[in-house]
């Protein structure tokens, strides 16, 4: 398991890349279609906040298992969000 700092960076980079992809898609569509992208960005931000709250939780008994579960959750949620970005196209 990498450090907590690396986990936070992974969360930031992965979800930031997804937001970047949505922004790129929005630049190619009309404003009325771009509303779908804004909803997806809001969802990404919610996922980010949720994961960061879990990373920063202090009352964790088994830290190794806790952070591994967060890493797994990040992968699952990022995959689902990427699928939604691909569906926008």
Reference 51, options 75, 84, 74; nearest CA is 74
Q: What is the pLDDT of residue 2?
A: 64
Q: What is the pLDDT of residue 31?
A: 79
User: Mean pLDDT in each 10-residue stretch from start to end of the chain (89 residues)?
Assistant: 85 96 90 86 97 92 92 96 90
Residue 9 has, within 13 A of its CA and on its CB side, a CA count of 5
Residue boundaries of the structural domains of the chain: 4-88
């Amino acid at each position: 398991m990498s450090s907590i700092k690396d986990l936070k960076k992974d969360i930031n980079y992965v979800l930031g890349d997804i937001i970047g992809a949505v922004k790129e898609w929005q630049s190619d569509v009309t404003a009325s279609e771009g509303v779908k992208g804004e909803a997806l960005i809001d969802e990404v931000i919610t996922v980010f906040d949720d994961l960061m709250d879990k990373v920063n939780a202090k009352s964790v008994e088994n830290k190794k298992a806790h952070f591994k579960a967060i890493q797994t959750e990040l992968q699952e949620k990022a995959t689902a969000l990427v699928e939604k970005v691909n569906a926008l196209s």
